[in-house]
Amino acid sequence: MTAAPDRKRAAILISGRGSNMAALIEAAKAPAYPASIALVISNNPEAAGLGHARAEGIPTVALSHKNFPDRESFDRAVHAELEEKAIDLVALAGFMRVLSPWFCRQWEGRLLNIHPSLLPKFKGVDTHRRALEAGEAEHGCTVHVVTPDLDDGPIILQARVPVLPDDTTDSLAARVLAEEHRIYPLALAKAAGG
């Protein structure tokens, strides 16, 4: 395979496990993938995903939001790290911080998020429990462009899964997560122009 000539430089922002991050790193190993993963930033220095990224040889930065007086000053520090690495695109992957309108403006159209529901349904947290309680026949996940409004913004890709009669939040979350890992690399490629 020939390497894509002008790969976009992508950064991934995480807070925890980082399984979506791992799926993006894996996809970006293909030479023809239109983005490279050039940086991983976590607001949680204990995030398990940081170890995985380091093991893959990807530069990582741990920036605890607790060391900043307010949301925007944390976001400005994240922005400085992204600029320093000449990042083109940012993918939020289990990043559990709401980003300031200032940050969203800086990265307008270049900031993606994955959310475990069929947006616009179930914005916010606890999506699997809420989908079960609502008696939904279908559930899923969405990759969207981030705007200052939480879990809003133009949808890039969605994947649907059935809700089965014996589902628990865990079984449903696992079925959705497998789809997250499938569509996030496709959506990032699409955003990177591939």
Q: Site residues (CB under 6 A) for ligand GRF? A: 14, 16-21, 93-94, 114-116, 177, 180
Least Å distance, CB 187 to ligand GRF, is 12
Return the number of the residue (87 or 119) whose C-beta is nearest ligand GRF: 119
Task: State the DSSP string of 3-72.
Answer: PPTT-EEEEEEESS--HHHHHHHHHTTSTT-SEEEEEEEESSTT-HHHHHHHHTT--EEE--GGGSSSHH
Q: At closest approach, how far in Å is the CB of 94 from ligand GRF?
A: 3
**Which residue lies nearer to ligand GRF by CB, 36 or 42?**
42
The residue (of 21 and 111) whose beta carbon lies closer to ligand GRF is: 21
Find the shortest distance in angstroms from Cβ 177 to ligand GRF.
Answer: 6
Angle between helical axes of 169-191 and 19-27 (0-180°, round to 10): 40
Active site residues: 115
Nearest residue (CB) to ligand GRF, 32 versus 125: 125
Q: Which residue is nearest to ligand GRF (CB)?
A: 94
Q: Which residues contact 152 (CB under 8 A, 6 or more apart)?
A: 119, 120, 123, 144
With residue 140 as reference, give the H or E element that holds it: strand 138-145
SS3 category, 138: strand
Task: Quote the least distance from Cβ 9 to ligand GRF, whole Å.
Answer: 20
Residues 6+ apart with CB under 8 A from 158: 118, 119, 140, 141, 142, 143, 183
